[in-house]
Amino acid sequence: MGPSVAIDLGIFQIHWYGIILTIGMILATYIAALEAKRRGENPNIVWDGVLVVIGLGLVGARLYHVFSSPNDGSGSGWEYYRQNPLQILAIWQGGLGIYGGLIGGLIGLLVVTWRNKVKLFRWVDCVVPGVLLAQAIGRWGNFANQELYGGPTGSSWWGITIDAAHRTRTGKIDFTDLQTYPLDTRFHPTFFYESAWNFIGFVTLMWIGQRFKNVLRDGDITAFYFIWYGIGRGWVEMFFRPDAWTIGQLPTAVWVSFGIIAVGVVLLLANHTILPRRQLVAGG
């Protein structure tokens, strides 16, 4: 039984990756229900719509990975899945792209809010703090699978060791060379960097939501989420991921991070400049 397997029942295995993701999704749903209740909304909408949001989120996350072009030497990405289509379903082996998950989850929220005739951004604000918590937890699934780590730390104490079977090999780097990178080499735990950043973001969004509840507008927490997560994901990818899928000279995730940071800034500015003016004109 490999280190990524939590329980081996013979006919099938339960992987740590799946257990960790499940814990994250349950806690995210619980936080969303609490936030809905705090805002005077019906928390039953969360429980009734959770399967739609999570289901479409997982589909989006998997598709993002399937159509990616990772540079980790694993041979995964579209070229692999095009020839092995059944492996698209094997999410327990890892391979979920968070940006695809955000798009899929947002589509799910659109469906749920439209069906219940409630305000979209008010409900996204209820959901995103728990999403950050789920992301913080979910990154430990990468640790269990020994994937998405960074380059060598150059330290004898800081970092994680990676088994030879999970070492990255590309045209630029070859961590499988055990002469240059022996088994006790420590690599940057990028999963931990992002997990810590996301957990701090979760605490911050919860604090902002309660401390400034009288001045926040619907969509403000969503904007803060976009900005916070975009910054964190961007610096982790840019400085610690030598195997990242790239477009031009930058990792693809960095380009997407720039995009969601911009969306967050525009949303925040629109919420506190354009919308107040419109309301003043409409009232005057």
Give the global pTM: 0.88
Question: Residue 262's pLDDT band (boundaries 50, 70, 90)?
Answer: very high
Considering the chain, what is the average pLDDT of its residues?
88
pLDDT, tens only, 38-86: 999 999 999 999 999 999 999 998 888 888 766 555 556 677 787 778 7
Residue 75 zone, left/alpha/beta (φ > 0; ψ -120 to 50; rest): left
What is the model's pLDDT at position 171? 66
Nearest-Å Rg of the Cα atoms of the chain is: 20
Question: Residue 283's pLDDT band (boundaries 50, 70, 90)?
Answer: very low
Cβ–Cβ under 8 Å, residues 222 and 128? yes
- For 70, 72, 85, 174, 216, the CA distances from 246, given in Å and listed in that order, are 8, 11, 24, 18, 37
What is the model's pLDDT at position 280? 38
Residue ranges of E strands in 172-281: 246-247, 250-251
Query: How distant is the alpha carbon of residue 228 from its chain centre?
Result: 12
pLDDT, tens only, 207-235: 999 999 888 999 999 999 999 999 999 99
Residue ranges of E strands in the chain: 5-8, 13-15, 246-247, 250-251
